[in-house]
Chains A and B, each alone.
Chain A
Amino acid sequence: MPGKLKAKIVAGRHLPVMDRASDLTDAFVEVKFGNTTFKTDVCPKSLNPQWNSEWFKFEVDDEDLQDEPLQITVLDHDTYSANDAIGKVYIDIDPLLYSEAASVISGWFPIYDTIHGIRGEINILVKVELFNDLNRFRQSSCGVKFFCTTAIPRCYRAAMVHGFVEELVVNEDPEYQWIDRIRTPRASNEARQRLISLMSGELQRKIGLKVLEMGGNAVVGYLQCFDLEGESGLVVRAIGTACTLDKLSSGSAPNTNTHIHPNTAPASNACNSPSKDGKEPVFGEDLPLSSGPPTPFRALPTSSSSPPPFSPCKPCSRQSSSSDTDLSLTPKTGMGSGGSAGKEAGPLKTLLRQQTQTALEQREFPFFTLTSFPAGFLVHVGGVVSARSVKLLDRIHNPDEPETRDAWWEEIRQEIKSHAKALGCHAVVGYSESTSICEEVCILSASGTAAILNPRYMREGCLDIGSTDHRFEEPSPPSCGFCHIPYDEFNMPFPAQLTYCYHCRRQKVPDVLFTTIDLPPEASVTGKGCLIQARLCRLKKKAQGEVNATAISNLLPFMEYELHTQLMNKLKLRSMNALFCLHIQISVGENMLLGLASATGVYLTALPAPGGIQIAGKTPGDLSNEHHILTIQKRINDTIAKNKELYQINPPELTEETVGSPIPEPRQRHRLLRSHSESSDELSELDLSHGKKDAFVLEIDDTDALEDIHSLLTDASPPTGFYSCNTEIMPGIFNWTSGVQMFTSVRVLRLSNANLTNQGLNKTFTDLCENLLKSFYFKLRSMIPCCLCHLKFTVAVPEEELIQVTVTAVAMTFDKDQSQEKLTEKPTTKGSTETEEQLQFPLELSTDLSTNMQTSNKISGTVSLLTPAAKLYQNQLIMVHSAGVPESTTVSPRAASVDYGSFADRCSTWLELLKMKAHTIRRGSVKTISSLDRSSPLPEGRSRSLRSNRSFGGSSVPVVKMTPVSFLPGTRIIKYLGIINMFFIRETTSLREEGGISGFLHSFIAEVFAMVRAHVAALGGNAVVSYSMKECVLMENPNKNQAQCLINVSGDAVICVRETDQEPPSVANIGQTCCSSADGAT
């Protein structure tokens, strides 16, 4: 009997009138857990009843504690007829099961009814007494912490990152069971809510078990999704990253560590660069490593009771396929280098690869759902890898054997893994999975970023590499190291233009970098970033079954190609060279496919400057056409110039001298000239230079292309005072103030038959997204200057002629004056200068080494210059690969599947080599000092805005802030209280009366927010971070005056305090004691 759950019902308020005669209610409450039910007394004739019940006690297994929610039902007592239900509250008691999280749940919860929405509130107290369970074969995993945050949570330190965990459970959807025909909609909705709550509890428990088996104590980047497969069932699946986290003692301020740093400079490399000052205290905690004992040592004792260090996460490996066979699974990797087996171009690189490979090869899936990492965790980033597959759904016959769905995902993950290999990478970071379902067709998608990781964080081999091989392992500075190519430059998996890194001058970098992760904190960025979206609609014929699946799989590669081209064009138009947080969503409807790619574009200082966009006509003879082209060209050039100004992109190369550069650079002279040139002379010269162009050429041969260019130029930039991005924070903005406004917006567009052409649809869809953004800017104009962060767009085709776009984002204010001040003083980001400071020493130390390297690089440099490439057709070339893939399509007769390759997400442009002189780096380091001085005005700005915040206090309802980002500016998270994962259904049969579909959804979303806030407040929290709305499925039938909506939200409940404030001592004590008790437990 390992746990005792206790609940007490205190009072209710604002109850609805249930008895028309008296205008009052005779309320009582049923408290149910598992199969045990208790009841309170009836509180007669009151809308604000005081029950003050006894403690209801449930003695239960901890397995049940994890799976089951506490179910509280408020009813109206009726002497003569059946009691009427007023509404319910489901309480997930999981947060009470971690020893260091919340100890009690206490507060007002909205009473929710799936038909009427919120109907009053109820005050509840819940406690759990856990007994220690020594059973080794236990089925529960109490104590494993879950975080939605896709980074190491702010008040923890990652002692070890174990890797990928996944699980899925399936069941029949109650909505589609026979019984649904005879029960009320309310009963059906409640059955569904309860089932999903149970399933996610079970899922979480099973994942927790895997984590325990791996020796971890937490899951970070926990991503849980529902697949509503209709007739064929309900799938709840989750992925995450298992870690061993150590709680940081609240006393250790991150700043103190930076001072230690200079001593450790000789050993400093990518792994121990300091984080941006104070912003990410957790990452800063890596530092004691080099001064004290290395992390792994410290981590070992805690995990000593767990299986031997070489355990290769067995629970994950359902099929025992070694990594070698993985490669053979994918025919197209022939084009790549095949991982480390390629030519040994860079001996250091190979060495590194071998070392880390041993660490990761043991795992079936070296995937990480994290999107931001401790500094130095990422060694190199290869590019985006993605895989999609189209499946036909059939009924899940046996819920206990979810093999089919498992096998599907297995397939996709293998694919992703092999793509990563092709890119010379051994791991995938920023990994996520999603589905899109329409009737019986389901598109499974997975994407991530191929990367090489620092093995120090893996269990194996961390000891030797961590300390001894430091210098050889990776001589590149942290601010650009991740940009350096992980693959073999002589045997590239795809055509790309390589140059020497503009930052360290010693390693090769690609011309463009696409990733699914957040911008690494140490990355050096020029100017600001911006949201870049590619949008696409493709019509398809209505079809059934396999024909339909085949049609979709045939369309997919083309869509992906076009999205890609759009992204690339838009990136160039903004004069940027890298995309972060790239998320491509393809949604399937009955008669169309929608594609939406969102990412944040930035100018990475380490990467070459992008060329302009060159317009070329197919018919040079036509004068009017020529003129037309010139006009367009001018518009494009103007836009580029305008964007450069807007995003403050003025890379240092403008001032840089070419004389005395160690690397020969034959073609530098034309660089700047050409990207803006319009004269035909220049054009011809471009052609002469054996196809070497710096500009990206767009050929106008038909109206399609013209449309494309127009759409390219119609993207409006945000109005003055606004920035937008889909990363956690905007690159280039540092001085966030405390103003935060999270919002969710949903728009559904009904298409008229008239413009059902691809062109028309594209325009409609683009306008829809653009208008949404415009609306946000307008609504949030009072927050200027501010930035819309973590903009997450989700598209769906709920019905034949409907397009639904759901957006969740947060607007965060920042101090404009300070940002400008900073900008005038230094164009690059703070992160970069800081890391440069520590860079300097290792650079000088390794001069011998680097000269050697440079000679070898010199050769390779020239080689790459000579590489002939059909610039224009490169995209198409890649396409050929991917389009060729569907051969693996015809898998099973029932399930038509299509896999096609990753494009490695890069198109090449022609850019020339550029080098940076040593003194530029030094200049950077001088600036660092001034940037340190400047850190003082920051708190001022914060406290100012906090003061304005203070007036918000004093309300009887505690304020709970919500944000999709993993932190709240101006505050420090002192405690994570547990994961919030809630699923709600709302239905109405009086749609008109509730203000139509908009009114219905508006109130539902507001209700969901309210319920999330109430749960967080009851846990003692004051904020939700990493909040996301994962599902918003809306169905309506206006003729019947009905609508139904399902919403799934998740996030991490936290307590945060103002950064300037000292922690309340009581809380600190609790934190400490909890921490120690947790240590004792593990």
Chain B
Amino acid sequence: MAVELDVFVGNTTIMDEEVYQLWLDGYTVNDAVKVRMEGGVMDECEASADVLQSDTMDQYRTFQMCERLLHSPAKLANQLLFQIPPHRQAMLIERYYAFDDAFVREVLGKKLSKGTKKDLDDIGAKTGVTLKSCRRQFDNFKRVFKVVEELKGPLVENIRHHFLLSDKLARDYAAIVFFANNRFETGKRKLQYLTFQDFAFCAGQLINSWTVGALDNQVEDMDVDLDKEFLQELKELKILISDKDLLDQHKSLVCTALRGKTKAFNEMEANFKNLSRGLVNIAAKLTNTKDVRDFFIDLVEKFIEPCRSDRWTAGDMRLYLTHYTNSAHILDTFKHQVVWDRYMGVIKSCIFKMYHD
């Protein structure tokens, strides 16, 4: 006596948000039923395990049928197959494109290729995210990447418009696309302490200030590629460390400003040249793609780690970087103020974000 067929179709498509989440999380029907039973839905309507099983199956089927539409969310609004109220549509899309920070952290900056996809089971095992869910998230990244790759205009806007996502989620996707495109190294052990949100913030900074789109907003790939001219100009900053006088002058200006304002003053003074060399060298090397990839690791190794070993507080960091940036303006032989500001503006906010345990 087996149920051979069991379907339930409503004129308005019935979707349970809880079951949707379980489906997104990659639970099998049986596991989902278990979770729901533990959740206590059964008591709600004197339901039995059979009822729950049948309901879960139905919903899973509905979601599977909807999945095709969710791949191009704009279709969901003008398809005729499912009658779904707009606010439910928005929920479906938002949740479908939501991702686990733990998972995205693993693939951030990796090439969204078949090779990476093969490693998803390892990532799944490591992060505790089911393989199914990993695949969905990975495919979402890839899909968004593919679509916006060929579009003109601001990246975040494009994502939001094309995938009907909330502003927050669109920004996160922009970060993912940006990282994937520039292949930033994020997997090194030293970077493990950084969360996806740290990176996403940095990506936002980079997109806003360092890409082509920061100047001209009608270029293709404007928000995805870094501004090559700007990177070239960054080489000019080398003068800050190669010119001995300039370096000393800069140091004394910064030290004067900092004296007595922080406990870590001595360490700052002692490390100034090292730190400055670190930051300027990063800038100077950014013309190399390889060094662009190592941008974050360089920031950590050359700047954050020394400061951390000297036990700077976040306040110290803020104070130091502010004066370090501003003092350069006073240097009369230093002519590259605009480039310096564009560079340091991003560096400053990235380091602020990244300077934590």
Q: With an 8 A cutoff between CB atoms, is A716 at the interface?
A: yes
Chain B residues near A955 (CB-CB < 8 A): 77, 85-86, 89
How would residues 1 to 14 of chain B score, 1 for a CB under 8 Å from any chain A CB and 0 otherwise? 11111111111111
Docked complex Cα distance between A159 and B17 (Å) = 51
Q: Which residue of A lies closest to B82 (CB)?
A: A1006
Docked complex Cα distance between A748 and B54 (Å) = 13
Q: With an 8 A cutoff between CB atoms, is A745 at the interface?
A: yes
Q: With an 8 A cutoff between CB atoms, is B195 at the interface?
A: no
Selected contact of A1010 from candidates B2, B45, B80, CB within 8 Å: B80
Q: Which residue of B lies closest to A753 (CB)?
A: B1
The answer on a CB contact under 8 Å between B55 and A779 is yes
Docked complex Cα distance between A220 and B80 (Å) = 30
Chain B residues near A491 (CB-CB < 8 A): none
How would residues 739 to 762 of chain A score, 1 for a CB under 8 Å from any chain B CB and 0 otherwise? 001111111111110010000000
Q: With an 8 A cutoff between CB atoms, is B38 at the interface?
A: no
Chain A residues near B2 (CB-CB < 8 A): 749-750, 752
The answer on a CB contact under 8 Å between B3 and A748 is yes
Docked complex Cα distance between A745 and B51 (Å) = 13
Q: With an 8 A cutoff between CB atoms, is A961 at the interface?
A: yes
CB distance from B201 to the nearest CB of A (A): 34
Q: With an 8 A cutoff between CB atoms, is A666 at the interface?
A: no
Asked if A995 meets B10 with Cβ closer than 8 Å, knowing A774-B47, A779-B55, the reply is: no
The answer on a CB contact under 8 Å between B14 and A118 is no
Selected contact of B11 from candidates A752, A804, A1009, CB within 8 Å: A1009
Question: How many chain A residues touch the partner (CB < 8 A)?
Answer: 59
Q: Which residue of B lies closest to A780 (CB)?
A: B14
The answer on a CB contact under 8 Å between B61 and A1002 is yes
Docked complex Cα distance between A1003 and B9 (Å) = 9
Chain B residues near A764 (CB-CB < 8 A): 1
Q: With an 8 A cutoff between CB atoms, is B91 at the interface?
A: no
CB distance from A991 to the nearest CB of B (A): 11
The answer on a CB contact under 8 Å between B5 and A957 is no
The answer on a CB contact under 8 Å between B85 and A956 is no
Chain A residues near B13 (CB-CB < 8 A): 1006
Docked complex Cα distance between A678 and B80 (Å) = 61
Which residue among B4, B6, B78 has the maximum number of chain A CB atoms within 10 Å of its CB? Answer: B4
The answer on a CB contact under 8 Å between A962 and B11 is yes
Selected contact of A748 from candidates B4, B50, B62, CB within 8 Å: B4
Docked complex Cα distance between A752 and B12 (Å) = 35
Q: Which residue of A lies closest to B50 (CB)?
A: A771
The answer on a CB contact under 8 Å between B65 and A749 is no
Q: With an 8 A cutoff between CB atoms, is A960 at the interface?
A: yes
The answer on a CB contact under 8 Å between B83 and A995 is no
The answer on a CB contact under 8 Å between B80 and A997 is no
Docked complex Cα distance between A781 and B14 (Å) = 11
Q: With an 8 A cutoff between CB atoms, is A314 at the interface?
A: no
Chain A residues near B7 (CB-CB < 8 A): 745-747, 998, 1001-1002, 1005
Selected contact of A956 from candidates B10, B46, B48, B77, CB within 8 Å: B77
Q: Which residue of A lies closest to B74 (CB)?
A: A956
Question: How many chain B residues touch the partner (CB < 8 A)?
Answer: 42
The answer on a CB contact under 8 Å between A745 and B8 is yes
Chain B residues near A1009 (CB-CB < 8 A): 9, 11, 83
Chain A residues 765 to 805 lying within 8 A of chain B, measured CB to CB, are: 771, 774-781, 802, 804
How would residues 152 to 181 of chain B score, 1 for a CB under 8 Å from any chain A CB and 0 otherwise? 000000000000000000000000000000
Q: With an 8 A cutoff between CB atoms, is A380 at the interface?
A: no
CB distance from A965 to the nearest CB of B (A): 13
Which residue among B3, B9, B64, B79 has the maximum number of chain A CB atoms within 10 Å of its CB? Answer: B9
The answer on a CB contact under 8 Å between B4 and A777 is no
The answer on a CB contact under 8 Å between A749 and B1 is yes
Chain A residues 77 to 113 lying within 8 A of chain B, measured CB to CB, are: 108, 110
Docked complex Cα distance between A108 and B8 (Å) = 26
How would residues 61 to 90 of chain B score, 1 for a CB under 8 Å from any chain A CB and 0 otherwise? 110110000000001011111110111010
Q: With an 8 A cutoff between CB atoms, is B44 at the interface?
A: yes
Q: With an 8 A cutoff between CB atoms, is B57 at the interface?
A: yes
Q: With an 8 A cutoff between CB atoms, is A1013 at the interface?
A: yes
Selected contact of B8 from candidates A779, A953, A959, A1010, CB within 8 Å: A779
Docked complex Cα distance between A749 and B6 (Å) = 9
CB distance from B92 to the nearest CB of A (A): 13
Chain B residues near A110 (CB-CB < 8 A): 80-81
The answer on a CB contact under 8 Å between B6 and A960 is no
The answer on a CB contact under 8 Å between A778 and B5 is no
Which residues on B are within 8 Å of A, measured CB to CB? 1-14, 44-48, 50-52, 54-55, 57-58, 61-62, 64-65, 75, 77-83, 85-87, 89
Q: Apart from A956-B78, A962-B11, A1014-B80, what are 10 other A-B pairs with CB-CB below 8 Å?
A: A746-B5, A750-B4, A774-B47, A777-B45, A777-B47, A999-B61, A1001-B7, A1006-B13, A1010-B81, A1034-B5
8 pairs across A/B with beta carbons < 8 Å? A741-B11, A745-B8, A745-B9, A749-B2, A774-B46, A955-B86, A1001-B5, A1010-B83
The 9 A-B residue pairs whose C-beta atoms are closest, nearest first, are A748-B5, A1005-B9, A743-B10, A742-B11, A748-B4, A745-B8, A1002-B7, A778-B47, A962-B11
Which residues on A are within 8 Å of B, measured CB to CB? 13-14, 108, 110, 118, 121, 716, 719, 741-752, 755, 764, 771, 774-781, 802, 804, 951-957, 959-962, 995, 997-999, 1001-1003, 1005-1007, 1009-1010, 1013-1014, 1034
